[in-house]
Structure 1
Amino acid sequence: MSNTRARHLTRRSVLGAGGALALGALISACGGDDGSGGTASPAGGAWTFTDDRGTKVDVAKRPQRVVGYVATAAALYDFGVDEQLVGVFGPTKLKDGKPDPQAGNLPVDRLEIIGNAFGEFNVEKYAALRPDLLVDNMFLEGELFYVPAESKDKIYALAPSVAISAGAVSLPKPIERTAALAAALGADLKSAKVTAAKARFEKAAEAVRAAAKAKPGLKVLASSASPDLFYASSPNMNTDLIYYKELGVDLIVPDKLDKNGYFENLSWENADKYKADIIMLDSRTQALQPKDLGSKPSWKDLPAVKAGQVIPWQPEPRFSYEGCAPLLEAVAAALQSAKKTG
């Protein structure tokens, strides 16, 4: 997570808390340990899962009514968790009623939306869903993402919660942990859909590695745009950027980061501080897009912009192989076609 949303974290005194394993190690046949903290019985008996806070959920039976942060729920859905999902919070629908990109493949029209924006979480709606489990991502040590600090005690009292660490860890890890949670909830990680998505992800990762090796010296800047500021993101905090670095991508490291270490605030007059051949620009709905930046002369003068080497970036990936494979493919394609700008 970064930039505009991380700025909210700072303003609210921090909102969130928190080498691929073989897919088979994550499998939890109903009954037995999934290898990553979850167990369940074939007859629907006792269910446990230890999350990335080290919190162990131990309940009498497998949760049947799950509410989640939209990106977490969408990733679970990709792995095969379906009917148990009853509600979501976070960016779920756009103003025109269409699903927000962060909702992925979720059937949003059948889910109860208990909050659609930062700071929104309707506790009464949540309680009415009779939740068995709350699932969420966590970007910083502490609380769950998008769970308002002022009402968290009421929320946590209604159902146990599971957090997947999504900050300062490499991309495969939260995917593996989400898969483990999905398996513990009854999903079949050996399904053709899941295994095909994993194969696509691995192929895309190798494409990024090969493209980076073939184009040494290409400088890449991950960024986000707002009306007043241009944010240069650190590749040491976002899960995807950490992974791209591991694959050989030469990502620019800003030198004056915010207190949480996610990004550097730059005025538009100083947007050219870092010389990038490729700009990855935050594509989330709250961030400005290239079409919105025509009035910023400094934007149009950036070498990567002049060269047409700006690609969308999703700082909050959907932590499934299906959700992340296209992101890696886009980075590989950008590296393959890019040229040095100076």
Structure 2
Amino acid sequence: MPSVPQPQPPQDLPDAALSTGAVARRLGVSPTTLRSWERRYAIGPAHREDGRHRRWTPQDIARLELMCRLTAQGVPPAEAARAVRDEATATRADARAARPGPGGPASLPLGEVRPQCRGLARAAVRLDAPAVEDLLDAALAEDGLVTAWEEIIAPTLHAVGRKWATAGEPYVEVEHLLSWHVSSALRRLRPARVPPYPAVPPVLLACAPGEQHSLPIEALAAALGERGLPVRMFGADLPADALRAAVRRTGPRAVVLWSQSRSTADFALARSAAGIEWGLRGARGHSTVLLAGPGWGAGTSAPRIERLFGLRSGLEVIAASAAGPPPPVTGAGRAGPAAYGS
């Protein structure tokens, strides 16, 4: 009796590809959640069988596992999905960069990005400072600060960092030139007019002690300025005692502490800053400490300490905090700068 031919899987579909139900059981989430992530955030399978049945490959499942880890750590789903897509793009770009191609050894592994991003990267690699300055100003003017940062500036900075990690010392000058011009472009942005201090308590921005990477909080400072929120920027590597003194003297609504690496993420300092009381005796206030940057990991459960994830969502968190209860008030009126102390 002749054997009956068995249906063969598509040639481009791995044998290990799983159905949505199987993947949901493996990850401990509902199939509805997986479909929602695919519909809302484009975190979906690369393959579909006839009849639109989803089939998830190991690469697809790896992306879902990262999405699950990030959301479990408290990252908003939209920000988590963006991180997952960026990771996938970087992986594909690194794979392409490992093969000979028309870009040559001096090109940056950008992956699927906007044309403005590629233009900025090419100018940076050429060390063409005037072109870098013009492209940054144009991106900020045309797209706005937040979109320009997320879709043009940050991807280029990340690509330079990845190239430095693989190519070594020759790309240090590219990163320094690009970083300098990004910082300069951010400072050229004119902030909105803000009420005179202390009508609105400021937001204090600083890098943790030993942390030299300040560009992300420079972008945050510029974005807050556009919204008319007063900022006290202390930049890179602020000593712990100086941070505590600044909190006591300014009475900020929020303190944003940036850490790029785990070696500079000082949770003891964050808890100390969150515990500082400021204002007049009998009408003391506290600041909310917002931990920003990848160095903090999953965060901490200490009182008045929260995590920020991404410029756009972090900006909303800070704006909501600034719209909270007013600072301490005495019978004669709101406490002035001279009244803040330890």
Higher RCO (C-alpha under 8 Å, 6+ residues apart): 1
Normalised by the length of structure 1, the TM-score is: 0.37
> Larger % of helix: which?
2
TM-score normalised by the chain length of structure 2: 0.37
